[in-house]
Structure 1
Amino acid sequence: MSKNARLSLIIVAVVAVVIAGFIFFSRNTNTTAAPQSADGKVTVVEYLDLECPSCRAAHPGVQKLKAEYGERVSFDVRHFPIPSHRNAELAAVAVEAAGAQGKRDDMFKLMFDAQQEWGVAAFEKALGDSALRERVLAQRAEGSKAGVQGTPTFFINGTKFSGAPSYENLKTAIDQELSR
C-alpha cells in the first residue's frame, strides 16, 4: 500500500469513527487530582481522544479560551485514546508527529476537521516513530491514574472539571480560579 493510500485510509477511518463515537460516548464526573502548574498560573489539562465527537465539539471553545487568556492560563492537551476507538492511538501519534515539526495545534484542528490535505513525507515517516507512540501511551496511562475514564476530561488547577465542557462553563471555572 502506498504512503498516500495509507494516509487517506487513516483519515477516512478517523472520520468514520468520529461519527460512530456519538453512539459510544460516556463521561465520568468524579473529581481527582491531575498534574498542575507550579508557577502559580491557572492550568487547564485536557485529556482527549481524536475520535471522540464531544472532544471535537469542545475544541473550538478551548481554542477561543487559549486566545482570550493568553499567558494567564496554561493549557495542556494530553492524549487519552479510548481502546474501542480503533484509530485513536494512531491519530494521536499523527498529532505528535506533526508536533515534532512544530505543527501540533494545527494538526489537532486538521484531525478534528477531517481535512485530507495534510500528508507530507516527513510527517508520514514520523508516524512510525515508536517514541511518539510511547508518549501517547504514557499520557493515556497518566490519565487513567488521574481518574480519566472518558473524553474530553478537563482538569483545572489539578481538579477534575465536572460540568459540560462548553466554552461558557470552562470560562466560568477558569475565571473562578483566576480570582483566587
Structure 2
Amino acid sequence: MEGHDAGPLPGKTQGPDPGVPGGRPSLGAIRRAEGATLHRMSDAPRRRAVLEVWCELQCPDCRTALDDIRALRERYGDALTIDLRHFPLEKHRMATPAAQAAEEALAQGQGWPYVEAVLSRAEELGERGEKVLLEVAEELGLDAAEVDTALIDGRHFLIVDADLAEGKAIGVTGTPTYVIDGVRLDGGRSQEGLRERVERIVDRLLAGGDGG
C-alpha cells in the first residue's frame, strides 16, 4: 500500500513566515519571539524545498520514519530544509514532556541528537517516563538537571502547544505527518512509498517547476 496523500492543506498555503526575513528562524535562533513554533534541523539558509515533519517522541512510527528522514538529508543536504514540528498525541502520556525536553536539548545545542536518542527508546519512555528523558540528556552530555527544571517549570510548553494547535489547524491527526509544498502526507497510516513521493516533490521544487 502506498503512503496516503491527504491532499492540500485546508485554508493554508506553504510558504515562508512573512514576519521573518527569509522564512522561519535557523536552529541557532531558537527564539524569534514568544510562541515561536518551528525548530530547524539545519542551520543552512532556507531553500526552495521545505519539508515539515510532524512527530512525537513516544511514537514507534516516528522512529521508523527516521530512516527516511536520514535518507532525504543524505540525498539533498542543505538544498532541503527539514523542519521538526511537535504533535504529541493524547494516547501517549510522555509525548508532551518529551517534546518539552527536546526543546531544552535544542536550547543546549543537541536538539536533533536528543530527538533521535529518545525515539530509539520510545517503548521504554512509555514504561519509565521522565527517567528516560533525563538519562538521555546525561548520555549526550547535556545539563540533565536543567532539563529536569525545564520539565518542572514548563518553560517550553507554549512552544509545544503552539505546534500542536497549528498541526490541528492544517489537518494533522497522527504521526508522522509530512507537509511539503502545500501537500500533507500521512505516514501514520502507511509509510510505504512516502519517501519517493516526497522526493518527487522536492525534485520538482528544486528544478523550479510547478507541475505535480
Q: Same fold (TM over 0.5)?
A: yes
TM range (shorter): 0.7 to 0.9
Question: What 5-or-longer segments of structure 2 have no aligned partner?
Answer: 23-46, 122-131, 139-143
Distance 2:72 2:96 in 1: 26
The one of 158, 164, 170 aligned to 1:146: 170
Which structure: greater helix fraction? 1
Q: CA RMSD in A?
A: 2.4
Contact kept, 8 Å, 1:98 with 1:107, in 2: the verdict is yes
The one of 83, 87, 91 aligned to 2:90: 83
CA drift at 1:50: 1.2
Question: What 5-or-longer segments of structure 1 have no aligned partner?
Answer: 1-26
CA drift at 1:138: 0.6
Q: Give matches, 1:65-144, under 5 Å.
A: 65-114=72-121, 116-119=135-138, 120-144=144-168
- Paired AA for residue 120 in structure 2: D
CA drift at 1:134: 1.1
What's 1:37 paired with? 16
| Structure-2 change in CA distance of 1:72 and 1:144 (3 Å) | same
Deviations 1:47-91 (A, max 9, x none): 112122211100122023123312211111100001111111111
Distance 2:180 2:77 in 1: 16
Distance 1:30 1:173 in 2: 13
Q: Secondary structure at the match of 2:88?
A: coil
Distance 2:101 2:91 in 1: 18
CA drift at 1:175: 1.8
Distance 2:13 2:176 in 1: 14
| Structure-2 change in CA distance of 1:176 and 1:107 (3 Å) | same
- Paired AA for residue 204 in structure 2: Q
What's 1:155 paired with? 179
Contact kept, 8 Å, 2:53 with 2:84, in 1: the verdict is yes
State the number of aligned residues: 154
For normalisation by structure 2, the TM-score amounts to 0.64
